[in-house]
């Protein structure tokens, strides 16, 4: 079973110490709860810890703690999912994408919701910085590829 850690929490244990760590970077405010779909699809993957920045309840007074939690967990993640939801420009996700996605070579999964306004920008930037990466338009396809990466890392 995957270990799910929701912001601002952390779990330190021997059981999850060797897990692959996946951060779910994508829209929260004004966006559908795509993180729940991702978690539901990956919950049975053994050896996986999922960092979910979407909180059940968010107090705006916790903004600094939230941003710090996200920054630290993005830095320690073995892989990151970037999901760009339609209905908002996802400005923070764009920032995180440039900082944590295109600027290093760790595994990332890029998904663009049909109708996302800046799809062309994401596609062009990805082709320029990391042309080997696939861009998805379906969460289920990302889920399958993440499960394969975790279960068969050398494949």
Do residues 80 and 23 touch, judged by C-beta distance below 8 A?
A: yes
Give pTM, 2 decimals.
0.94
**H-helix or E-strand containing 23?**
strand 20-26
Is the pLDDT at 30 greater than 80, yes or no?
yes
Q: Which tens digit of pLDDT belongs to each residue from 54-100?
A: 998 889 999 999 999 999 999 999 999 999 999 899 999 999 999 99
Average pLDDT over every residue of 16-24: 93
> What is the greatest pairwise CA distance in the chain?
45
Phi first, then psi, for residue 84 (nearest 5°) are -100, 105
Average pLDDT over every residue of 139-148: 95
Please, which pLDDT band fits residue 153 given cuts at 50, 70 and 90? Answer: low
Does the structural domain 3-9+18-55+64-151 have CATH classification 3.40.50.450? yes
Residue 87 pLDDT: 86
**Mean pLDDT for the chain?**
93
Phi first, then psi, for residue 97 (nearest 5°) are -60, -45
Report which of 132, 90, 136, 146 is spatially closest to residue 113, judged by C-alpha positions.
136
């Amino acid at each position: 079973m995957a270990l799910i850690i929701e912001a601002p929490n952390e779990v330190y244990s021997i059981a999850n110490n060797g897990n692959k760590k996946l951060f779910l970077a994508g829209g929260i405010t004004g966006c559908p709860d795509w993180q729940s779909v991702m978690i539901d699809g990956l919950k049975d993957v053994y050896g996986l810890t999922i960092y979910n920045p979407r909180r059940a309840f968010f107090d705006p007074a916790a903004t600094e703690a939230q941003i710090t939690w996200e920054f630290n967990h993005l830095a320690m993640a073995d892989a990151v999912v970037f999901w760009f939801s339609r209905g908002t420009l996802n400005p923070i996700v764009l920032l995180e994408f440039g900082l944590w996605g295109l600027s290093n070579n760790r595994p990332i999964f890029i998904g663009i919701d049909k109708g996302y306004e800046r799809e062309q920008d994401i596609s062009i930037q990805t082709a320029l910085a990391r042309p080997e990466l696939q861009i998805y338009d379906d969460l289920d396809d990302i889920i399958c590829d993440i499960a394969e990466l975790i279960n068969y890392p050398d494949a």
